[in-house]
Structure 1
Amino acid sequence: MADFIVDYKWYFFIIGEIIFWSSIIGSLLFRYIFNMKKLSKYLILLWLLSDLWLLTLGIFVYVKTGEFDTFQIIIIIVIIYAFTEGKKDLEKLDRFINRMTEKWKK
């Protein structure tokens, strides 16, 4: 099983990114379009778990291969971005979607 994960690590990375973007888009849709703020918070939790998934995947691949390569560098960049500039960008996106839906609802 470990070899399977190492062999298909990029696919697992892509799945993690799909979950990440789906949870962000879903959270914004549920918050502003469907006015389901509580459900949107669960999707934000899913977003955080997807970042934890990527971190775990990067560590797992490193432990199994013993090599620090491009895969781990990409994951580190994604994680650093998500918890620094990504938070600011998400806040900007949140405000933008809020303004757009307010205009749309009028």
Structure 2
Amino acid sequence: MNFLLEHKWVILAGLEVLAWLSTFFVFYARYAMKSSFWFKAAAILLAITGVFPQITMGIISFAVSGKLDIYTFVIVLLLLYGFTFGKKQVEKLDVWMQRIFLNKGNDVDKQKK
């Protein structure tokens, strides 16, 4: 437990990086691979690397300190962002990724002609 609390900021940064990589893998699996299996696997990976461990770390930090410290506050802000503005950003990212992967095939077809 002490290790988690001593390195909580590094762990949070690592989890954020993994969550964003998982997010891009979700889109890659959906649009480039067109694989239902890998899309579901990527979505599970996203939950495992993003939401659940961050919430758990925030709860642990709050339980040990007994107060809303800056770390727990940052976790709460990340969650609020994710459930509000973050949804819109992911929707925009989804449209952008669709265009990239769907147009990529069209570019290849145009080059063959």
Q: TM-score, normalised by structure 1?
A: 0.88
Paired position in structure 2 for 1:85: 85
* Farther off after superposition, 18-27 or 33-42: 33-42
The whole-number CA distance in structure 1 between the counterparts of 2:7 and 2:34 is: 38
The aligned amino acid for 1:9 is: K
Paired position in structure 2 for 1:100: 100
The whole-number CA distance in structure 2 between the counterparts of 1:56 and 1:44 is: 19
CA contact (8 A) 1:16 1:51 kept: no
Could you say which structure has the larger radius of gyration? 2
Which consecutive unaligned segments of at least 5 residues does structure 2 have?
107-113
The aligned amino acid for 2:52 is: L
Which consecutive unaligned segments of at least 5 residues does structure 1 have?
none
The whole-number CA distance in structure 1 between the counterparts of 2:83 and 2:40 is: 17
Q: What's the offset of the Cα at 1:59?
A: 0.8
The whole-number CA distance in structure 1 between the counterparts of 2:84 and 2:47 is: 13
CA deviation vs aligned residue, 1:20-49 (integer Å, no higher than 9, x gap): 111101111111122223311221222233
- Per the alignment, in what secondary structure is the counterpart of residue 56 of structure 1? helix
1:40-79 residue pairs with structure 2 within 5 A?
40-49=39-48, 50-79=50-79
Q: What's the offset of the Cα at 1:94?
A: 0.8
CA contact (8 A) 2:29 2:42 kept: no
CA contact (8 A) 1:24 1:47 kept: yes
* Farther off after superposition, 13-22 or 38-47: 38-47
**Identical counterparts, % of pairs:** 26
The whole-number CA distance in structure 1 between the counterparts of 2:36 and 2:99 is: 16
Q: TM-score, normalised by structure 2?
A: 0.83
Runs of 4 or more consecutive aligned structure 1 residues displaced over 6 Å after TM superposition:
none
1:6-25 residue pairs with structure 2 within 5 A?
6-25=5-24
Q: What's the offset of the Cα at 1:52?
A: 1.7
